[in-house]
């Protein structure tokens, strides 16, 4: 880090940020530009969905952990019910996360979904139902990460609030006990 720059001006994890953006941009760029170079819908579908799937995996398993300290997954329990699972760093570590990394993570997550929605609208206007399928798959993957990480962030805040409440309650309780034990 350059000492002449104020803290927080650089990305803490530039390689992770690069790959966080790479597959999103790659899927969107290939989808948009493929009409100019590729005549096969199958190739456009496979490559675009593959890039979107790689983005989903990288965000869910790598950049989410490194850039914002969060991780989520979904399991089906023995009763056949969907159960969300969340992991997050402790609040002290979350507070030390690089703000620029976090900003890039959240904004690109939302902007990508908006871009897929806009592309879906264009496909509908142009009566290209087959291209709506590509957009639908990519939008579903984007929204799955948005929902997962948003729930994970809310769960982390709730855990912190519960921890803070328990800590305060135990401190007050011990203070009261020590005050009466002195008497």
* pLDDT tier, 101 (very low <50, low <70, confident <90, very high otherwise): confident
Does the model's pTM come out above 0.85?
Answer: no
Percent of the chain at pLDDT above 70? 73
Distance CA 92, CA 18 (A): 26
pLDDT value of position 172: 52
First-last CA distance in the chain: 56
In the chain, where does DSSP find H-type helix? 14-37, 41-58, 64-68, 91-95, 99-125, 129-182
pLDDT value of position 160: 47
In sign, the C-alpha dihedral spanning 62, 8, 104, 19 is: negative
In sign, the C-alpha dihedral spanning 32, 37, 42, 44 is: negative
pLDDT tens string 26-51: 999 999 898 788 888 899 999 999 99
- The most confident of the ranges 94-98, 119-123, 147-151, 177-181 is 119-123
Among the listed residues 26, 180, 14, 161, the one whose alpha carbon sits nearest the alpha carbon of residue 98 = 14
């Amino acid at each position: 880090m350059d000492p002449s720059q104020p803290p927080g001006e650089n990305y803490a994890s530039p390689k992770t940020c690069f790959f966080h953006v790479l597959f999103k941009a790659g899927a969107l760029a290939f989808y948009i530009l493929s009409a100019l170079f590729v005549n096969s819908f199958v190739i456009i579908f496979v490559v675009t969905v593959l890039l979107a799937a790689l983005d989903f995996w990288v965000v869910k398993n790598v950049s989410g952990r490194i850039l914002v300290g969060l991780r989520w997954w979904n399991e089906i329990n023995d009763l056949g019910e969907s159960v969300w699972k969340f992991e997050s760093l402790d609040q002290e570590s979350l507070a030390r996360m690089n703000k620029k990394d976090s900003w890039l993570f959240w904004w690109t997550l939302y902007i990508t979904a908006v871009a897929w929605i806009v592309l879906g609208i264009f496909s509908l206007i142009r009566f290209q139902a087959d291209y709506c399928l590509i957009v639908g798959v990519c939008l579903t993957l984007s929204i799955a990460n948005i929902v997962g990480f948003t729930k994970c962030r809310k769960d982390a805040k709730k855990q912190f609030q519960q921890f803070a409440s328990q800590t305060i309650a135990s401190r007050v309780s011990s203070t009261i006990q020590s005050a009466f034990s002195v008497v």
